[in-house]
Structure 1
Amino acid sequence: MVKKIITLGEILLRLSTDVGKRLSQADQLDLNYGGAEANVSVSLSNFGYEVYFVSKVPNNPLGLAAERHLKTNGVRTEFLLKGGERLGTYYVESGVGARSSQVTYDRKHSSFSQLITEEILFDDLFKEADLFHITGITPALSPNLVELTLLALQKAKANGVTTSLDFNYRSKLWNHQEAAETMKLFLPYVDICFCGELYAIYLLGINKVSDSIENKDRLTYYYENIQQMYPNIQYFSSTFREVLSASTNTLQGNLFAKGVLYHSKIYQIDHIVDRVGGGDAFVAGMLYGILEGTSLEEAVTFATAASVMKHTVLGDCNTFSVEEIKTFANQTPGKIIR
């Protein structure tokens, strides 16, 4: 039986500069649709799951285009509401060399930010669902979305649904204190948690250990401490990324479960085409491994390979299949597949 997955978040219009052009000097922009939760939805749909995206878009051509983007990628839109006056937008100024990419948000007063709990039919939404995924971006958008996200988590758990939370802190949307207070409301209802070392220190208040300690040992320490605070969390996951330049990074995936930290191999990603959405591809890959009950080593290998592949395509979404990702994870880099 195909597993049913629910995601909640804002789908966004993305406008990007050409490489080498600043946003302030651009006279044309590339158009895509994305957003963290929508990106995870697309990946999981490509993996063969029945994915429902819960959101709200304006009843205008942009809202229709966002809905079409989801449907084209196999995501179900029965719970995509229409209303409000605008679709959230963000701009990407592509980085080059030592200059990082920059994101500029234009999403205040969007249709999704005005979504309220009374608009969601939670009993219908979570009926026979297997997984509910959210991120820390949604509650950063408005106070009503804090309330809605918390209630959604509570309803999911009441219906026996596995829950997943990606911290995904965005400093341009809220500050550390606001994020910390909100995440602590959510974590008692979370089964799968995507958070790294900095989140443990700055949002959850865990004492920082020396940087001289090896990365893997530090991360194990932080995850053990978070699990003591929230024993309901079964899985913790994150990545180690070293940014050598805007177009060259290294990436390694981590998965902590049952007191053990598992790692992928370290990938060097050269000639990055588009980094945006790489974290969402990792999240979706990890959720796939957990849902399918693969070994923990296989889960972190698959998730990291999925993220690396996302870096090679334009746009927010990772459209590779399970078979393509598994083939990539086991092949010699750059080899032609005939």
Structure 2
Amino acid sequence: MGKVVTLGEIMLRFSTETGIRIPQAESFSIHYGGGEANVAISLANYGHQVLFASKVPANGLGEAVKKHLNRFGVDTRHLLFGGDRLGTYYLESGVGERAANVIYDRAGSSFAAMEQLEWNLESLFNGVDIFHISGITPALSEKWRALALDIVQMAKKSGCKISFDVNYRSKLWSPEQAGKFLTQILPYVDYCSAGSLDAQKLLEIPSYSGTGRKEEMTYYYQAMQKRYPNISVFYSTNRTVNSASVNQLIGTMWAERNFYESQCHMIDPIVDRVGGGDAFAGGVLHSLLNKDTYSKAICFATAAAALKHTVYGDSNQFNQQEVENFLYFGSGKIVR
């Protein structure tokens, strides 16, 4: 098993019940989560040693975050306490043809307001195999763009493989801002979660003019790797949205100049889509740490993402054996 560090903001999510809009809501379900924290939980579920670095307020909410991470086996020795508040967001659950909608309330959070690095980076990355961060962290502020680069450079210097999930959020920064940052960070990255829209909108790669999903994804993966040959593995999901409640999900990967694709998962109904991409990234990193074949890696990761859609909350709640059983037995069958 491997040793992994993830770093980012963890927030409190307030979700409406299906069929209830935020202006009419009288109660909310609450869950703790964030891109890098969700990946940490997935990897801890699979038996890896995982440390999550962040900052939360020194109050009951900060303590609740710590307990949330610890219950899944995530090491929180690098979880800092201080600052004014825990970032929050509100999710209006989608259903049928109505998509979900998010309202952020995270400005001035303990993590977002950090002005300097408060971790001992040499200690943080000692003996670490992979450092994982997403594009959500540098999207928080100009200061965090500089800090994120400093952290990645130190992780690289320490011998870590760098995992980066583009994870573009249009409500946090513009395509131009994100694209500029990608040109700065991608030269340090080893494993990258980036899809066709990231290639087109953020990296300004010309649109594919042919037909066929495999050919299209091969085109974008090849174009991205030509610009950043240091990146050994690209991966992403291809999602067909029949409705907010029914999706089809396929995982794709580009490694060693070969294209790999998972089976198609029909997710019907979706219980909670939030965190599906993080479960996918966690599955990929788990397989890379285990040195699985790329074919096995993409199938495992996509199955993990499909399973995440079946439970409430931001994080994956399944271990390695449960994901493998799901792949073996198929959807909907009772495991006795």
What TM-score do you get using the length of structure 2 for normalisation?
Answer: 0.99
Distance 2:147 2:8 in 1: 11
Which residue of structure 2 lines up, in the alignment, with residue 172 of structure 1? 171
Which one-letter code corresponds to 2:294 in the other structure?
L
Which residue of structure 1 lines up, in the alignment, with residue 309 of structure 2? 311
Give 1:283's match in structure 2, choosing from 264, 281, 284.
Answer: 281
Which one-letter code corresponds to 1:266 in the other structure?
C
Range with bigger deviation, 248-257 or 140-149: 140-149
Give 1:294's match in structure 2, choosing from 286, 292, 298.
Answer: 292
Which residue of structure 2 lines up, in the alignment, with residue 256 of structure 1? 254
Specify every segment of 5 or more residues in structure 1 that has no aligned partner in the other structure, as ranges: none
Distance 2:117 2:297 in 1: 37
1:163 aligns with 2:162: yes
Give the aligned length: 336
Which one-letter code corresponds to 2:224 in the other structure?
I
State the Cα distance separating 1:218 from its structure 2 match: 1.1
> 1:80-139 deviations in whole A, cap 9, x for unaligned?
111110101011111110001111110011100122443121100010001000000000
Which one-letter code corresponds to 1:112 in the other structure?
F
Q: Where in structure 2 are the equivalents of 1:8-27 lying within 5 Å? A: 8-27=7-26
> 1:202-249 deviations in whole A, cap 9, x for unaligned?
111111122x52121111111111111111000000011000011110
Which one-letter code corresponds to 1:198 in the other structure?
L
Q: Where in structure 2 are the equivalents of 1:1-338 lying within 5 Å? A: 2-210=1-209, 212-338=210-336
Over the residues paired in the alignment, what is the CA RMSD in angstroms? 0.9
Range with bigger deviation, 304-313 or 107-116: 107-116
Distance 1:226 1:209 in 2: 13
Which one-letter code corresponds to 1:64 in the other structure?
E
Query: For the Cα contact (< 8 Å) 1:11–1:55, is it kept in 2?
Result: yes
Which one-letter code corresponds to 1:303 in the other structure?
A
State the Cα distance separating 1:151 from its structure 2 match: 0.8
State the Cα distance separating 1:319 from its structure 2 match: 1.1
Distance 2:54 2:331 in 1: 38
Distance 1:304 1:176 in 2: 27
Distance 2:70 2:136 in 1: 23
The SS at the match of 1:74 is coil
Distance 2:252 2:224 in 1: 15
Which one-letter code corresponds to 2:323 in the other structure?
I
Query: For the Cα contact (< 8 Å) 1:117–1:147, is it kept in 2?
Result: no
State the Cα distance separating 1:162 from its structure 2 match: 0.6
Distance 1:154 1:229 in 2: 19
Distance 1:334 1:251 in 2: 16
Which one-letter code corresponds to 1:114 in the other structure?
A
State the Cα distance separating 1:43 from its structure 2 match: 0.6
Could you list the structure 1 runs, at least 4 aligned residues long, displaced by more than 3 angstroms after superposition. none
Distance 1:102 1:329 in 2: 31
The SS at the match of 2:70 is helix
State the Cα distance separating 1:331 from its structure 2 match: 1.0
Distance 2:222 2:277 in 1: 23
Distance 1:266 1:333 in 2: 11
Distance 1:100 1:330 in 2: 32
Which one-letter code corresponds to 1:25 in the other structure?
Q
State the Cα distance separating 1:72 from its structure 2 match: 1.2
Which one-letter code corresponds to 1:155 in the other structure?
M
The SS at the match of 1:52 is strand
Distance 1:116 1:64 in 2: 23
State the Cα distance separating 1:267 from its structure 2 match: 1.0
Identity %, equivalent residues: 49
Distance 1:115 1:165 in 2: 21
> 1:171-193 deviations in whole A, cap 9, x for unaligned?
00010000001111100000000
Specify every segment of 5 or more residues in structure 2 that has no aligned partner in the other structure, as ranges: none
The SS at the match of 2:39 is helix
